[in-house]
Structure 1
Amino acid sequence: MDAATRSAPASWAVVLNPSKFDDPARVRDDVARLCGDHGWPEPTWYETTVEDPGEGQAREAVEAGAELVCPLGGDGTVRAVASGLLGSGLPMGLLPGGTGNLLARNLSLPVDDLDAALAVAMTGSDLAVDVGEVVWDDEEPAVFLVAAGMGLDAEMMAAVDPRLKKRVGWLAYALSGVGALFRLGFGVRVRADRQRAVSQHARTVMVANCGELAGGLQLIPDARVDDGLLDTILATPRSISAWVAIALHVLSVHRRGHPSLVHLTSERVDIVTKAPVEAQLDGDAVGRRTRMSCSVRPAALTVRVAPQGAD
């Protein structure tokens, strides 16, 4: 349906992570007020729990007849709700509620304006996006929407102070990463599709479904969330000067490349480390792992986005 003629859904749901808000009741009131202002129906509310961070609630909303399901929390809540919506065909609307809002940023959606985000969720266009799937060691598969990684990025997530993160946002990760820069790397072997395996002493390896990270950092400008591919970045700096060179490369407009930064594109990638390494999934630390096998599920999730040409 054309976004210009799309009407608000008759029934929709919000999966709220109450731990992300000082006053969850006020958040509900704000959503109700905005819906009233625009003549939209109020949602059915579901709250996440420690035991179920959103997947079960999303499935419950689907079974109850919701036409749209919106996570309202951090990137972990978005990932969990997406897991519950896979295979349903129902769209997911992204409401700002976390520190990163990484998928929303990659889709150029509002991340600091609840009214604007609601407008997109209720009346925007539908976009089929890829979903990454990862198997850690011998565990059950998990999905990711932004990136899965091992090494420096995961160490930053694991070491970040939650209270500082709440106060200063993504800068808390930057502060956490200062100390992590000086730690030793790890031996890793990376094989992307049928390409020749790459064996390196790395500092971090990241498998990305899209290219923008916290703080607006464009790690992989050419990565697209709907291209049916995963982008793997392997950073192998041996000195502070190499880190500086990588930083300049990432910040550069022209991207001439750097020998300490390997970029692979594939539908599947298998990563094995010589010893357990800190791992992360869409910005959430998941502990130490030695194997990471990732594959892409093309166009597996529908997300509500701004109409093409909209401001």
Structure 2
Amino acid sequence: MKLNDTVIRKFRVAKVFKENSDKINSIDFYANGETLISSSDDESIVIYDCQNGTPKRTLNSKKYGVDLIRYTHTVTTVLHCSTKVDDTIRYLSLHDNKYIRYFSGHTKKVVTLCMSPIDDKFLSGSLDKTIRLWDLRSQNCQGLMHLLGRPVAAFDPEGLIFAAGINSESVKLYDLRSFDKGPFTTFKLNQDKDCDWTGMKFSPDGKLILISTNAQVIRLIDAFHGSPLHTFTGHTNNKGIPLEASFSPDSKFVFSGSTDGKIYCWSTETGSKVAMLSADHPGPVQCVQFNPKYMMLATACTNMAFWLPYVDE
């Protein structure tokens, strides 16, 4: 089964989970698509089995809170940010619910966290106007960049370069092997006056960069030339929250949540809206991701919803 406009319009909520008492602030699929992990403002981490459609287990992080949860390259360990005590990034073993390492350095809330697709490096960006490069094996920061504004960052699918979005107006591309020499290219975009960039992702094929904001606009640019390709609109964001937008695994579609509880989908080729999918989300849908291996979409407000294409008999 291949993703196309018709298949996307047939997506329906197959299962709703009500494991959380407060909003789910981030989700992440493991690379093989078999499990999904979520972090919530209720200070819990929930692991879901995507094949059986069941919650596997719940861990609590009452002491530090939990935000921006990310799988590493093993299904038993994750990184997450904190919502209280301090702005340390924590490396957690899910197997025994113990911390392996702490990554200290940021002095304000961490707003972007991404794992390298190929090795143990990861990037973090904070409201302290810095981006830091780390390695899971060392608590010491491997690299530090001072910026002029709020950062967003992302690795390309090959893990050789990363993009940093600065001040909601420019995208800088860095080579990981020599990033201390500065960016090898900079794309200047029209500044979004009414909103901040809150998320950045490379498409799975590496050709596109998606920039999500805390307003009713999502931008798509060419990853090689920085030229603006499409601006996706139509969803609502009247609360100024960082709604996540994500690619389908074939890079042909973009999905986003909305404060009206619906899911919107656009074509990356034409820029046109493909579908508006209705769910029973009672609150703003902050998290939206497509499973990397299976024909399944996950969306979250306080509830977690798993979507599958409804096939006519």
TM-score in terms of structure 1 length: 0.26
Higher strand share: 2
The answer to which structure has the higher helix fraction is 1
In the superposition, the TM-score normalised over structure 2's length comes to: 0.25
Select the structure of larger CA radius of gyration: 1
